[in-house]
Structure 1
Amino acid sequence: MQQKKRPAVDHLIAPEQGMTRNGQPLSYNRAPAPDLAPWIARLYVTKVSAPADYTLSCGLFNDTAVVRVQLAGSWTAETATGREAFGKAALFFGPQTRRMPVTVAGSFISVGVALRPGACTALQGPRVGDFLNRLVLSNVVAIPSETILGYLHPDGTPEDWLQALENNFRHRAEHMNGALPDPVTAHFENLAFTNPSITVGEAANLCGVERRKLERVANRDFGMSPKKVLRCARALDVASHLRGVADPDEADEIMLRYYDESHLIHEFTELFGMSPRQFVRTPQPLLTLALESRQARRLEALNRTEPGQSRPWE
């Protein structure tokens, strides 16, 4: 079942943050400041040069909500409510339950904060279940887009931008007296990283709650059922392996989470809109960047790497 073919690369783009050993694009992404770790999963900056007349067709698949500040590029996305087009803007992306087709024309810059499940609930933000496979201007759910854009000075460094966004979240957390996500949510998030092949009943037992409570908590904080959370986590780990941004020591374990090859192909195709073989053969720069950031977060959450440590695929 393990896919060994080298994943395809888009040679017309040039990520400022460089490439992995097998030629996949990298972003600047890191863990949040320790005091923000209960609410923020990951922060990233992606700066990519491309010909002015070039349109990149790709996709995104994030299983948590993400605040994305698009500083450059002309973007479109196929969402649950139709096609959205935008330029320079601060956007709230709800969790995705399948690959979201995205295009961007020309060079682009994207700065973002991936939220941990339960962060929106704890900080009295949007109900993530209302925004599955959707995106909206930040005006709709929090702070006006223009205000967030004002935090990011055009001449700032990537780290300057990330610290500015962290400060905004820090103020919100302080305003809410440091209200924390449900510990059941945090435990289930860790289980999805550790072994997404477990059953919902097993997960509930490990979380120390009845299955019905886990169902309620997951729908509230992940925006989807626990079964769907585990299914997405399993497929995202496979996608990361296929794109070469996962720990190679986990390759066999990740691929063997499916009953057989037909099970893998069916579920992967349903979630990503293409077979694993097509996924490897098709350049996926935007999606690869999102997968790499998620895997870096996952390995740190499981204490397999330390923040700032070199990752296995670099």
Structure 2
Amino acid sequence: MYHKVRPAIDHAIAPEQGVTREGQPLSYNRAPAPNLAPWVARLYVTKVAAPVDYTVQCGLFSDSAFLRIQLAGLWEAETATGRMEAGNAAIFCGPQSRRMPIRVTGSFISVGMSFRPGACTALRGPRVGDHVDRLVSTDVVAMPSDRMLALLEPHAEPEDWLLALENMVRRRIEHMNCPSPDPISARFEEISYRDPAMSIAEAASVCGVERRKLERVVSRDFGMAPKQVLRRARALDMASYLRGVADKDEADEMALRYYDESHLIHEFTQLFGMSPRQFAQTPQPILTLSLESRQARRLEALHRLEPGQARPWA
């Protein structure tokens, strides 16, 4: 097993939703309502207090497209198309192929919803492949930013915000009579959670399709090739373990997905821009929030954790 060091903590910030046993920040995140589960992967609210002039240097690394509504904080991101700055705004975020550097100044509040693979296709939304490693105002994808912001009452409770987002998606599904995403994408998503070391040939067999069809569907709904999706999933699971937001019982299994330690270090460094040890020894508050939400979603999808059940790292 890869030797894990205790993850560093940013003591200058105070997450309202508390911290893990190891002191890592937590958000309020949960599964969607059952009738939205085919399209929506996760919903979250993050509220963090920080000094007015304090800047968190961190990153984003999400394996799904998501809607992020920023209610406080000044955000900067180094995207595939250059630097983006935003205050209060609604942002459509494509999935990331690698860690995206970000900075946030002051206290921040973020409300968001991640989409399942194929959901953007089914909802007749933006083409995911066009937005990999990019952040754009929702104005660009036919969801006016000011209308998104108006959905959320500034002083409402986190659950009220999430219910408002769910109602927005529910109305769109009903109005457009949207189909569920392609079942091939749903099956491949499960493979990425359960066994991301699986070969693409075996994954195609499990999905019941020829390899070329799997590659075509995954490219359309995930925005990248199947091999990239699985490689990213391995790295995100390992990153979750290094930040202390993974089930420790899976630690050996996660490490064995790599041939040896040098393979792990090489792949991890390519995707995160730093070695596993550097990643653990550097505070990663915003990225850790994303990783924790993903691991909760993953364990629930694999039926290893019930929605609302206490998480192994909490």
> Which TM-score band applies after superposition, normalised by the shorter structure?
over 0.9
Give 2:284's aligned residue.
Answer: 284
1:133 aligned counterpart, secondary structure: coil
Correspondence for 1:72: 72
Q: Give 3-state SS (helix, strand or coil) of 1:35's partner.
A: helix
Partner secondary structure for residue 288 of structure 2? helix
Q: How many residues align?
A: 314
Matching of residue 122 in structure 1 with residue 92 in structure 2: no
Q: Give the Cα separation in 1 of the matches to 2:272 and 2:173.
A: 35
Q: Compute the displacement of 1:3 (Å).
A: 2.7
Shift of 1:164: 0.3
Structure 1 CA distance for aligned equivalents of residues 3 and 177 of structure 2: 48
1:135-160 Cα distance to aligned partner (Å, 9 max, x none): 00001113100001000001110000
Shift of 1:255: 1.0
How do residues 238-257 of structure 1 correspond to structure 2 at under 5 angstroms?
238-257=238-257
Q: Matches of 1:226 and 1:269 in 2, distance apart?
A: 20
Match of 1:223 in 2: 223
The Cα of 1:4 is off from its aligned counterpart by 2.5
Partner of 2:201: 201
**d(CA) in 1 for partners of 2:31 and 2:24?**
21
Task: Tell me if structure 2 keeps the 8 A contact 1:3–1:242.
Answer: no
| Corresponding position of 1:17 | 17
Residue of structure 1 in register with 2:62 after alignment: 62
Q: CA deviation at 1:247?
A: 0.3
Q: Is the 8 A contact 2:73 2:109 kept in 1?
A: yes
| Contact 1:27/1:47 (8 A) holds in 2 | yes
- Once the two structures are superposed, what CA deviation does each residue of 1:236-269 show, in whole Å capped at 9, x if it has no partner? 0000000000000000000110000110000000
Instruction: Report the residue type matching 2:296 in the other structure.
Output: A
Once residues 5 and 267 of structure 2 are traced to their aligned partners in structure 1, the CA distance between those partners, rounded to angstroms, is: 20
Structure 2 partner of 1:296: 296
Alpha-carbon separation, structure 2, partners of 1:135 and 1:143 = 14
Name the counterpart of 2:39: 39
- Report % sequence identity: 70
Structure 2 residue aligned with 1:173: 173
Q: Secondary structure at 1:204's aligned position in 2? A: helix
| Aligned-CA RMSD value | 0.6
**Counterpart-to-counterpart distance in 2, 1:302 and 1:36:** 18
Check conservation: 1:69, 1:112, Cα contact below 8 A: yes
On the 8 A contact 1:97/1:132 being kept in 2, the answer is yes
Cα distance in 1, alignment partners of residues 4 and 232 from structure 2:
22
1:93 — aligned with what?
A: 93
Q: Deviations over 1:58-81 (max 9, x none)?
A: 000001101000000000000000
2:244 aligned partner, one-letter code = G
3-state secondary structure, aligned to 1:121: helix
Aligned residue in 1 for 2:233: 233
2:56 partner amino acid: L
SS in 2 for 1:91: strand
Deviations 1:178-211 (A, max 9, x none): 4110000000000000000001111000000000
Distance 2:103 2:190 in 1: 32
Residues in 2 aligned to 1:25 and 1:127: alpha-carbon distance in whole angstroms: 32
Letter in 1 for 2:184: V
CA displacement, residues 263-299 of structure 1 (integer Å, 9 cap, x when unaligned): 0000000000000000000000000000000000000
* Runs of at least 5 residues in structure 2 that lack an aligned partner in the other structure: none
TM-score calculated relative to the size of structure 2: 0.99
Distance in 2 (alpha carbons) for counterparts of 1:280 and 1:74: 25
Contact kept? 2:16, 2:48, Cα under 8 Å = yes
User: 1:111 aligns to what SS in structure 2?
Assistant: strand
* Distance (Å, rounded) in 1 between the aligned partners of 2:165 and 2:219: 27
TM-score by structure 1 length? 0.99
Amino acid at match of 2:307: P
Alpha carbons 2:52, 2:105 under 8 Å: kept: yes
Counterpart code for 1:309: Q
Aligned mates of 2:142, 2:248 — CA distance in 1: 39
Residue type of the alignment partner of 2:2 = Q
